[in-house]
Amino acid sequence: MCGACRKRSASQSAAGNRVTKRVGVLALQGDFEAHARLLEKARADAVPVRTRDELDSVDSLVIPGGESTTIAKLATGYDLVEPLRKRGEQGMPILGTCAGMIVCARRIVEGDEPLLSLVDISVHRNAYGRQVDSFESDIDVAGIGEMRAVFIRAPWIEDAGPGVEVLASYDDRPVVVRQGAITLVAFHPELAGDDRLHRLALGL
């Protein structure tokens, strides 16, 4: 049996036949530990991902907030860019929050070259302001309902292609979108301690 298969078999719940899903958290930069805690709350097996082998061992992935430029440099240094893109193109569920949205976007307005180019959106980095301009708001997310959204140096979506579904908006701009198995979020759901968006995006 392959190593990844053994790891998945080891996730079998002793309480029954339920298999705990292994969810990777890209652990290069940003508050990946907060996402890991939220995934454990959702009864997933949270796995930090820094290598190809660790990426190969997981069923889905969270790309957390942080500095998108730093995440891109580290992903390149760890030789993860093509493996990440390939898994995304193959349909692996991905949840990208804040900088994770930028990492997955196909176009970046007045910024760096796109990294993974997985979702047909154009994003504007730090469009909601600097760190001191951080704010919270209640928004309504399709399939979830009302939830608290924490915006910290958040990007906004300038435009979205026809294959992109808008799940939530703030001030008439999309802040939660989905294309295929990839869900992108402009804010930080992990900081509100609400695991519903993680469960929706990752099938938990």
Given 35, 98, 104, 124, the catalytic residue: 98
Provide the domain count of the chain: 1
CB 38 within 8 A of CB 63: no
For CA atoms 185, 191, 196, 200, the dihedral sign is positive
How far does CA 77 lie from the centroid of its chain? 20
d(CA 83, CA 53): 10
The H-assigned helical ranges of 15-140 are 32-41, 52-56, 68-77, 81-89, 99-104
Is 84 contained in some domain? yes
Q: What is the reported pLDDT for 10?
A: 44
Domain of residue 62: give its range. Answer: 20-202
d(CA 27, CA 62): 9
Catalytic site includes residue 190 = yes
Catalytic site includes residue 188 = yes
Strand order in 22-26's β-sheet?
45-49, 22-26, 60-63, 94-97, 182-185, 173-179, 165-170
Q: What is the reported pLDDT for 113?
A: 86
Q: What is the reported pLDDT for 128?
A: 67
For CA atoms 80, 33, 99, 183, the dihedral sign is positive
CB 193 within 8 A of CB 34: no
Given 35, 104, 190, 198, the catalytic residue: 190
Given 54, 104, 124, 188, the catalytic residue: 188
Per residue of the chain (204 residues), give pLDDT as tens. Answer: 334 443 444 444 443 445 679 999 999 987 889 999 999 989 999 999 999 999 999 999 999 988 888 999 999 999 999 999 999 999 999 999 999 999 999 999 876 789 999 999 999 887 665 655 578 999 999 999 999 999 988 888 999 999 999 999 998 999 999 999 999 999 999 999 899 999 999 998
Task: Say which CATH number the domain at 139 has.
Answer: 3.40.50.880
Is 90 contained in some domain? yes
- pTM, 2 dp: 0.87
Catalytic site includes residue 104 = no
